[in-house]
Chain A
Amino acid sequence: MKKFLALLLTGAMTMSLVACGKQEAAPSNEDANAPAEAPAEEAPAEEPAADDAAAAPADGAVAGDITLWTYPVGKFGDAEAVGELVAAFNQKYPDVNVTVEYLDYQTGDDQVTAAIEAGTTPDLVLEGPERLVANWGAKGKMIDLSDLWDADTTADITANSAAVEAACKSSDGAYYEYPLCMTTHTMCINQELFEEADAMQYINEDRTWTVENFEKALQALKDHGVETTGVVYCGGQGGDQGTRALAMNLYNAQWTDAGHTEWTMNSAEGVKGLQQLKDWVDAGLLSSDAGIVASDEIQLFANETIAMSFCWNAANQLTYAAQTAFTPYAVAFPSEDGVPELCGGIWGFGIFDNGDAAKVDAAKAFIKFVCDDPTQGPESVKLTGFFPVRSSFGNIYEGTEDEERMTVYASFAQWLGDYYNVTLGWAEQRTAWWNLLQQIFGGEDVQTAADNYVNTCNEATTAASN
C-alpha cells in the first residue's frame, strides 16, 4: 500500500511537470468590431427534449431564474445598457430573474462549446444564424421557436427581408433564432484622402462603384503618394466577411449554390475575382497581409496608415467616429456591373434546450418583450446600433442624432445578398478561406487553390450533413 501510494505521488509529481507546462488559454484573433460569423455544425439535428410547441406565455404567468449570454452586438456587451433592459423586462415580469453573462468574440464560442459539453448552457443566447441555426441548432442543442413565428410576425419580418426568415430556419423547418436586428457589411474609404487624390469621381452617388473605377481610384491614390491603399487581410478568420465580399463582388461570383449545399468560389467568376486581387497586390495597387486580421486593418484605417477598410458597418462608424481625424465614407464593394451583393448580419435570440419547460417559458417571454414589445422593441434594436428586422418598427432612428448616419447605412440594404453563412461546414470554410488567400498571395495557382478550398468546404458540408 505504502509503495503504491509512494508510486502514485511520484507519478503525480512527474505528471505535474507536464500539467504545469505553459498552457494559458488565449483569446483568438476574432473580430474586434464587426460581429463574426460562426463555426458550422458537423452532426445531424436531434429532436429537442423540451416542449417546443408551447406558445409564448401570457404576461405575468411566468416565473423563475434564467440566464442570458450575450455576444457584444452593439451595446449588448454593455452591462449598464443591458441592466436597464432587464429592469424594464422585470417591470412587466417581476417573477423572472435574469442573470446576464457577457461573451466576447475571442473566447465566446469556446465558452459555449465547453458549456454544451458540461451541460451548463445558458437558457438564452444572443447571436446570429451561423451559430444559433447552423451550428448549435443543427446539433439539437436549441429549442424550436416556431411558436414565436406566428403569421403576423413572419409577415412583418419578411416584408422587410425574406432572407431573415430563411436564415433563422433550419433545413428541417425549425426556427432556432428569433431575430432582433440586421445590417449590411460594407467597406469604407477616407473621404478627404480620396478627394485629395481626385478619386471620389470614381464612386457613384449611390456609393457603388465598378471594378474598373475601383482600379482607377487605387491608381489615383498611388499617384498621389499613398504608400498602402488597402490591405487584403488574411491572418485569421476575424472579419472575414469583408474579404469574402470583396472577392465575391468583383466579378459577381456566388459563394454557394442557391440551396446552400455546395461551395462555388472556384467558378470562373470567383477565380477571376481572386486573380484580380492577386494582380492588384502584385502591381502594388493593394497589399496583402497574412499577419493581420480585420481589427488590425480597421485600426490601420483609423490611424490613416491605409486609405480604405474592407470590414465596415454602421456600428464601426459609431465606434471609430471619435478616433478618426477624417470622414469615414462607407461605400459598397466594387463589382463588374456596379451592382453589389453585400453580406448581411442578422442577430437575435435562441434558447438552449435545458429540459426545463418553466425556464423555456420565461426565456420566450424575455424574447418577445425585447424583440416585439412596441416600446422596448425599437429601443432594443437601437442598443445594437443596427436596423430592425420588423418592418412595422419603421425608421427607428428618425429624429435622433443617429438619423443621418443610419440613413446612409440603410441605403445599403437594397443590395443585401444571399445569407450563405448558414451552409453546413461553415467553421471549416472560415479557416479554409483565409488559408486560400494566404496560398494565392504566397504564389500558388489561383484555380488550384480555389479548387482545394472548395473541396475542403464540400467535404466538411457532406460530413456535417450525414
Chain B
Amino acid sequence: MSKNSNVPARSKVLSRRETRTAYLFLLPALVFFIGFVIIPMVLCLITSFFNYTMGDFSFIGIENYVKMFQDDIFLVALKNTILIVVVAVPTVTAFSLWVGASIYNMHAISRSFFRCIFYLPVVTGSVAVSVVWKWMFNKYNGLFNNVLTGMGVIDQKISWLGDERFALWCIIVILFTTSIGQPIVLYVAALGNVDPSQTEAAEVDGATKFQTFWKIKWPAIMPTTLYILIITTINSFQCYALIQLLTSGGPNHSTETIMYYIYYQAFKLNNYGYGNAMGIFLAIIIAIFSAIQLRVGKSDN
C-alpha cells in the first residue's frame, strides 16, 4: 500500500523536475526574446502614441494612426505591399510544392543538387543577390536587355527598375527567387516523411496519382504548408532590403512598401513615433493574415 502511494508522489516530483529543467533550457532564449523582441515591441506600441522625433517627445494620442491613413504615400505602400503578398505567397508555395514533389523521391545526390541550387539565393544574402539582379536589369549593359534586343523582342532598351510598369514586378521576381529555397527544402523533408504504406495502400485500392496526392500526401504535409504560408506571408510583408538596395521606393513610389516607408520615416526623417505607428499597423496586419491562414489550414485539415 505504502509502495503504491509513493508512485504518484515520485512521479509528480520527477515531472516537476523535468518541467523545471525544460524551462531552464528555454530561459536563455526567453531572456533574449524578451530583451530584443517583447520589450522593443512594447516600446514601439507606446511611442506610436507620441510625436517622437529627434527633438520632441510629446503625447499625441492616435494622431499618428490617423495621419497614416491620410498619407498618400503610405496608402500606396500598403497597396504595393499587399500586391507583393498576394502574388508572392501563392506562387512561392505552389512552385515550392511542385519542385519538392518532383525531387523528393530522386536519388540522394540529385536531390541534394537541386536543394543546393534552390537554396543558394537564400544563403547568398540580399546584398549580393541584389547586385547581381541589378546588373541583369541594367538598362545599358544588362543581361535582359541584351538578350531581348538580340532576339528582337524589344526595340528600345528598358530601364526595368526605373520604369513604373515593371519595377514592382522585378522586385517580386527577385523576392520569389530568394523565397523558394526554404519551402522547397521543407517540402522535400515533409514529403519524404509521408508513410509510404498509406500511399501504397491507396494505389492498391485503385487511387489515381492525383487522388493519392490529394487524399494522402496533402493532409500529411498540411502542417508544413501552413508554416510555409505563414513564413512567406511574413517575409513578403516585410519586403525591405530589396527595395532599399534597388529602387528606394521609386520610380514615383511604385515600389514603396510599408517596411521601406517605416525605415524612411524613422531613419531619414527621424519621425520615430510615426514610423512605430506604421510598424504596429503592419504587425496587426501580419497577425490577422497569419490567423486567417491558420484557421483555414486547420479547417482543411
Interface string of A21-34 (1 = CB under 8 A from B): 11111111100000
B residues in contact with A17, CB < 8 Å: 230-231, 234, 290
A residues in contact with B26, CB < 8 Å: 9
A residues in contact with B246, CB < 8 Å: 29
CB-based contact A27/B245 at 8 Å: yes
A5 at the interface (CB under 8 A from B): yes
Pick the contact of B38 from A15, A29, A236, A427 — CB < 8 Å? A15
Pick the contact of A439 from B138, B252, B270 — CB < 8 Å? B252
Chain B's interface size range is 35 or more
CB-based contact A16/B54 at 8 Å: no
CB-based contact A21/B234 at 8 Å: yes
Known: A12-B33, A27-B127, A427-B269. A292 touches B238 (CB 8 A): no
B116 at the interface (CB under 8 A from A): no
Kindly state the separation between the CA atoms of A309 and B52 in the bound complex, as whole angstroms. Answer: 40
A residues in contact with B159, CB < 8 Å: 289-292
Known: A19-B37, A23-B240, A43-B53. A290 touches B267 (CB 8 A): no
Give, as a whole number of angstroms, the nearest-CB distance from B199 to chain A. 31
CB-based contact A292/B55 at 8 Å: no
Interface stretch of the complex, out of B61-69, B102-110, B161-169, B210-218:
B161-169
Name the CB-closest residue of A to B252.
Answer: A438
Give, as a whole number of angstroms, the nearest-CB distance from B142 to chain A. 9
B residues in contact with A289, CB < 8 Å: 139, 159, 162
Kindly state the separation between the CA atoms of A438 and B252 in the bound complex, as whole angstroms. Answer: 6
A-B contact count (CB 8 A): 152
CB-based contact B140/A300 at 8 Å: yes
CB-based contact A290/B54 at 8 Å: no
CB-based contact A16/B37 at 8 Å: yes
B177 at the interface (CB under 8 A from A): no
Name the CB-closest residue of B to A5.
Answer: B23
Interface stretch of the complex, out of A91-99, A109-117, A215-223:
A109-117
B residues in contact with A338, CB < 8 Å: none
Pick the contact of A16 from B33, B163, B272, B290 — CB < 8 Å? B33
Give, as a whole number of angstroms, the nearest-CB distance from B215 to chain A. 29
Total number of A residues with any Cβ neighbor in B under 8 Å: 53
Kindly state the separation between the CA atoms of A356 and B29 in the bound complex, as whole angstroms. Answer: 37
Name the CB-closest residue of A to B170.
Answer: A291
CB-based contact B54/A42 at 8 Å: yes
* Residue in B55, B125, B159 whose Cβ sees the most chain A Cβ within 10 Å: B55
Known: A24-B241, A28-B248, A235-B162. A18 touches B137 (CB 8 A): no
Q: Which residues in chain B, 234-262, are within 8 Å of chain A measured between CB atoms?
A: 234-235, 237-238, 240-241, 244-248, 250-253, 259
CB-based contact A292/B54 at 8 Å: no
A residues in contact with B36, CB < 8 Å: 19
Kindly state the separation between the CA atoms of A185 and B145 in the bound complex, as whole angstroms. Answer: 33
Q: Which residues in chain B, 15-54, are within 8 Å of chain A measured between CB atoms?
A: 19, 23, 26, 29-30, 33-34, 36-38, 41, 53-54
- Interface residues of chain A, those whose CB is within 8 Å of chain B, are 2, 5, 8-9, 12, 15-19, 21-29, 39, 41-44, 46, 109-110, 113, 116-117, 139-141, 228, 234-237, 289-292, 300, 305-306, 427-428, 431, 434-435, 438-439, 442
A sample of 8 more A-B contacts (CB under 8 A), given A26-B241, A235-B250, A291-B162, is A2-B19, A9-B30, A12-B37, A22-B126, A22-B238, A23-B259, A289-B162, A290-B250
Q: Which 7 A-B pairs have the closest CB atoms?
A: A43-B55, A291-B162, A290-B162, A290-B251, A291-B161, A236-B248, A26-B241
Can you identify 24 A-B contacts, CB atoms within 8 angstroms?
A: A2-B19, A18-B283, A18-B287, A21-B238, A23-B259, A24-B127, A26-B244, A27-B127, A39-B269, A41-B54, A42-B269, A42-B270, A140-B55, A141-B54, A234-B250, A235-B251, A237-B248, A290-B163, A290-B251, A291-B138, A292-B159, A305-B140, A428-B269, A434-B248
